[in-house]
Amino acid sequence: MQDAVRIEGVSKTFVTRSGQVHALADVSLTVGEGEFVSLIGPSGCGKSTLMRLVADLEQPTAGTVEVFGKTARKARVDQDYGIAFQQAGLLPWRTVAANIALPLEIHGVGRRERRSRVAELAEMVGLSDFADHHPDQLSGGMQQRVAIARALAERPRLLLMDEPFGALDEMTRERMQSELARITAETGAAVVFVTHSIPEAVFLSDRVVVMSPRPGRITSVITTGIGRDTARDEALRESPAFFEKVTEVRAALHGAPVRSPALEGR
């Protein structure tokens, strides 16, 4: 089996007008094929930066990033993954179906194949009845589901998701989590998922990666055992095994060493 993502000894320093910002320091992380890994940590600890390095939207100052054994650049060019970020990023003038079809269109997939794939995806995210609607006719949760369908259009073996449910109310958010768990189980895609929510990270993940305040480092990696030992269903949210893991992640998060503000930016 080939790893989906391999990050080795990665550091990232931004040079700004007011000096250097050490966003990440010596981060190493491997995400296996089909594995769901969440990144959690205080605001500004470099979660989005790490994601952007994997997506080749930033270059590391030191270290290497590989996606399915390729450089991050090659994987981006080959479109080896789907991306869903906090803002759904839909094109307002296109219908739901046309938004989902966009990556297929760009890659020259024929009309007939496109149509059947879009129908399949719309059904997968429960939006078959809304295929002809425009984004402004949908709720935030529905828009996010369109974004997920679009990210899945080309059957990527990897999804990069940066706080995709951050803007949703709690009920919609839990529903979306269940749907994402079902979809990834169905497709076998690996996922790297950034969140601020401990229960969300525990519910979805095989492993939860806890990061320290800036410069971001990995301070703990917690294996949930969920999905393997327990199904990701509504009963899980009430189960002792779930609470146990939530407590473990919370302790790891709060136990992360806090740097004094005087050291910030060094």
Q: Where on the chain is the footprint of ligand ATP (CB under 6 A)?
A: 14, 16, 21, 23, 41, 43-49, 214
- Least distance (Å) from ligand ATP to the CB of residue 10? 12
| Residue whose CB is less far from ligand ATP, 37 or 104 | 37
- CB half-sphere exposure, 144, CA atoms < 13 A: 23
Instruction: Compute CA distances 265 → 10, 41, 215, whole Å.
Output: 17, 17, 8
- CB half-sphere exposure, 247, CA atoms < 13 A: 6
The residue with tokens 């390729």 is 70
Q: d(Cα 64, Cα 73) in Å, to the nearest integer?
A: 11
Q: d(Cα 3, Cα 8) in Å, to the nearest integer?
A: 13
- Least distance (Å) from ligand ATP to the CB of residue 253? 12
- Least distance (Å) from ligand ATP to the CB of residue 254? 16
CB atoms within 10 A of CB 130: 18
**Cβ within 8 Å of residue 223, ≥6 positions away:** 206, 207
| Residue whose CB is less far from ligand ATP, 2 or 59 | 59
Question: Tokens standing for 57?
Answer: 């939207």
- Least distance (Å) from ligand ATP to the CB of residue 108? 33
| Residue whose CB is less far from ligand ATP, 214 or 245 | 214
- Least distance (Å) from ligand ATP to the CB of residue 135? 24
- Name the maximum alpha-carbon separation found in the chain: 60
What is the separation, in whole angstroms, between the first and last Cα of the chain? Answer: 39
Q: d(Cα 37, Cα 188) in Å, to the nearest integer?
A: 13
| Residue whose CB is less far from ligand ATP, 55 or 100 | 55
- Least distance (Å) from ligand ATP to the CB of residue 212? 11
| Residue whose CB is less far from ligand ATP, 110 or 257 | 257
| Residue whose CB is less far from ligand ATP, 21 or 158 | 21
The residue with tokens 């590391």 is 60
- Least distance (Å) from ligand ATP to the CB of residue 79? 23
| Residue whose CB is less far from ligand ATP, 39 or 101 | 39
